[in-house]
Amino acid sequence: MTEAVQQLDRQAGAVPAPHGALMPAHWRDFWALTKPGVIRLVVFTGLCGLLVAPGTIHPVIGFVAILCIAMGAGGAAALNQYHESDLDALMKRTANRPIPAGRMDREAALQFGLALSGFSVVIMGLAVNWLSAAILAFSIFYYAVIYTVWLKPNTPQNIVIGGGAGAFPPVIGWAAVTGDVTMLPILLFSIIFFWTPPHFWALALFVKMDYARVGIPMMPNVAGEKSTRHQVFGYSLVLLATAMAPFALGLAGWTYGASALVLSGVFVLLAARVGFRVAGEGDALKPEKQLFAYSILYLFMIFTALVIDRAVLPAIAA
C-alpha cells in the first residue's frame, strides 16, 4: 500500500523515483521540458516584433510564425535540460524537473528537443520565409550549444554573452513580416541582451549556493557579491540608454519614449538598491527579489508600449 502511494506521488512529481526506477512520462513532463514560463516571454517579444514591423502578414502565417518561435524555444529548452540533467538533480530549484526527478528518460528528452527544434525551423522556412527560419535555427543552436554546452560551465560571462539566445524572438518576428532585419529589431535585440545580466544576476544572488554546489561559475560565486552588485547597477544604466534609443533615433514616438524613460528609471532605482547594499547574515534579499520580479514586468511593459506606439495608435489615427 505504501509503495502504491509513493508511486502515485512520483507520477504527480511530489517525490523523485528511486534510482533505476523510471516512471512513464506524462504529457505534463514534456510540457515542463519546454520551460513554459520562459516561453511566454519569448512568444510575447516575438509577437511584438511581428506587430511593430512595417507591412502586413496574413493572420494564419503570422500565427504559424509565432508557433514556430514557441516550438523552437521549447525544443532548445528541452535540449538544455537533457544536457544539464545531472546538474539539475543537485540543485534545489531544478531537482523536480522531469529528468532528474526520474519521470523521463534522457533519450526521450533529447528526441523531443531535436524534433521540436527541427520541425520549427522547417515549418518556419516553408510557411513564412527562410531568413526568419535561419535566425530561428541559429537562436536554437545559440542556446542549446553555445550557451548550455560552452559558456555556462566555463565562464562567469555566461549570462552576458548567452543573453543573446533569448534576444532573437523580436528579430525573428520582424523578419517573418519583412524578410529583412533593420535597425529597430537590432535595438529590440539589444534591449533584451542588456536586460538579461541584471535580471539573471538578481536571481543568482539569492540562489548562488545552488550554483556553487554544482560548480557553475556564476558571477556572484566567481567575482563576489560586491562586484556582481555593481555590475547589476552598471548594466541597468546601459539598459536605460538602449531602451531610449528607438525614441532618440526617431524609430518610435512619444508614447514609447515616455514609457521607456519611466520604466527604465524605475529599473535603475531598483538596481541601485541592489548595487550599493551589503547583505548581512540571514538577509532575506528583498531588494534582489523585487528587482528580479520587476525585471520580468519591465520587459512585458516596454514591449507593450512599443506596440501601442507603432501599431495601435497609427491604426486608430487612420
Q: Read off the pLDDT of each residue in 216-231 and give the average, rounded to a whole number.
A: 91
pLDDT tens for each residue of 43-78? 999 999 999 999 999 999 999 999 999 999 999 999
Tell me what pLDDT residue 279 has.
80
Tell me what pLDDT residue 182 has.
97
pLDDT tens for each residue of 267-305? 999 999 999 998 877 778 899 999 999 999 999 999 999
Does 25 have pLDDT greater than 70?
no
pLDDT tens for each residue of 108-151? 999 999 999 999 999 999 999 999 999 999 999 999 999 999 99
Complete DSSP assignment for the chain: -HHHHHHHHHHTTSSPPPTT-PPPPPHHHHHHHT-HHHHHHHHHHHHHHHHHSSS---HHHHHHHHHHHHHHHHHHHHHHHHHTHHHHTTSTTTTTSTTTTTSS-HHHHHHHHHHHHHHHHHHHHHHT-HHHHHHHHHHHHIIIIIIIIIITTT-TTHHHHHGGGGG-HHHHHHHHHHSS--HHHHHHHHHHHHHHHHHHHHHHHHSHHHHHHHT---HHHHT-HHHHHHHHHHHHHHHHHHHHHHHHTTSS-HHHHHHHHHHHHHHHHHHHHHHT----TT---HHHHHHHHHHHHHHHHHHHHHHIIIIIHHHHH-
pLDDT tens for each residue of 170-221? 999 999 999 999 999 999 999 999 999 999 999 888 888 888 888 888 898 8
Mean pLDDT of the chain: 90
Does 8 have pLDDT greater than 50?
no
Does 1 have pLDDT greater than 60?
no
Does 22 have pLDDT greater than 70?
no
For the ranges 34-48, 201-215, 235-249, the lowest mean pLDDT is seen at 201-215
